[in-house]
Structure 1
Amino acid sequence: MGTVEAVCISAKKGIIKKPVEQVELKENWGIADDAHAGDWHRQVSLLAGESIDGVKDKLPQIGHGVFAENIVTRGVDLAGLKIGDQLLINGEVLLEITQIGKECHNSGCAIKKATGDCIMPREGIFSKVLKGGTVKAGQSIEVRPGTGSPQGAPEKTAP
C-alpha cells in the first residue's frame, strides 16, 4: 500500500500545477478547480514521487506539480499498472486508470529543455474518477486490479 505525497492543481492547461493542501475529486469530472477536469478520460494525472526524485539529481529545485501532475504518489508501482486497474485513496476515492503515458508537447516542455528529459510521457498515469471525495497528502492508496480496458480509452500512448 502506498500514500499520497502531494496534490496539485492549475487554473489553465499548459502550465505547471501548484501544490495545495487538499483537492476535491468529483465523480466523472476530475478535480474541482483544475484545468484538466472534464468529461473525458484524462481527468486526473498521477506521477510517482520516486520518478520525481530521479530528476532532482539534475535539478534539485524541482518540486511537486512541475510535470503538471495532480497527485504525487509514494510507494505505488505506477509503472506496473494497467488500463482498467483502480486506485482506492483513503478507502473512499476511487480512480480508474485510463491511459499510460502521453505525447510530449511538440517543442518539448520547460523541464525537458532544462534536463534533456521529461518523465510524464513515459511515467505519467491518467485516470477518471469513479467515486469522488477529498484527497490530501498522507492518505493511503490501495491498488485494485482491473478487469480490462474501459471502452473507448486508449491502451497506451507512445511518447
Structure 2
Amino acid sequence: MPSVVAINISTKKGVAKQSISEANFVENFGIEGDAHGGNWHRQVSLLGQESIDKIKAMGMDDLDSGSFAENITTEGIELYSLPIGTKLAIGETLHEVTQIGKECHQRCAIFHTVGDCVMPREGIFTKVLKAGKVVPGDKIEIL
C-alpha cells in the first residue's frame, strides 16, 4: 500500500524543505506555512522515495526527504504515471493531480547542491480538494 514517508515545508521557494511531524492541509491552498501554498494548480508537490534513491545511487548519499523541495515524500507509488485529474486520498485529505513534472527555467539551489534534479521528470503536483491533517505513515489511496 502506498504511503507517506515524510512531509516537508519551507518558507521560501527554490530551496530544500525541512521535514515536519504533521501538516495541516488547507482546501484550495496547500500546506499551512509552506511557501508554495496559494490559489493555483501547484499547491502540493510529491516525489517518490524511489526517485530520490536513484540520485542517491549516483553518489549523492546525503540526500533526505525534502532535498528536492517536495512537500510529500511517498513510497510504493509511481507518481509520474498517474494521469492528470487522478484523485488521491492522503491521510484525512483529498487531492487532485494537476501537473506531472515541471520545466526548470533556472538551476535552483537544489540542482547546484545535488548536481541533478529528478523533480522536473518524476515529481507531481496536486491541488487540495479536502482539508485535513497528514502525518508520515499515512496511506495513499488512488481513487
Taking structure 2 as the reference length, what is the TM-score of the superposition?
A: 0.94
1:23-102 equivalences in 2 (<5 Å): 23-57=23-57, 58-90=59-91, 92-102=92-102
For residues 56-81 of structure 1, what are the alpha-carbon distances to aligned partners after superposition, in whole Å with 9 as ceiling and x for unaligned? 12211011111110000000121220
5+ residue gaps, structure 2: none
Q: Between Structure 1 and Structure 2, whose CA radius of gyration is higher? A: 1
The corresponding residue for 2:13 is 13
How far apart are residue 115 of structure 1 and its match? 4.6
For residues 67-96 of structure 1, what are the alpha-carbon distances to aligned partners after superposition, in whole Å with 9 as ceiling and x for unaligned? 110000000121220110011013x31000
For residues 94-121 of structure 1, what are the alpha-carbon distances to aligned partners after superposition, in whole Å with 9 as ceiling and x for unaligned? 0000011111142x23443355421010
Q: What is the total number of aligned residue pairs between the two structures?
A: 142
Equivalents in 1 of 2:7, 2:83: separation in Å? 22
SS of structure 1 residue aligned to 2:23: strand
Code of the residue aligned with 1:127 in structure 2: it is T
Q: Does the Cα contact within 8 Å between 2:15 and 2:108 map onto a contact in 1?
A: no
SS of structure 2 residue aligned to 1:25: strand
5+ residue gaps, structure 1: 145-159
The corresponding residue for 1:134 is 133
For residues 110-139 of structure 1, what are the alpha-carbon distances to aligned partners after superposition, in whole Å with 9 as ceiling and x for unaligned? 443355421010011000000011111101
- Let me know the Cα RMSD of the aligned residues: 1.2
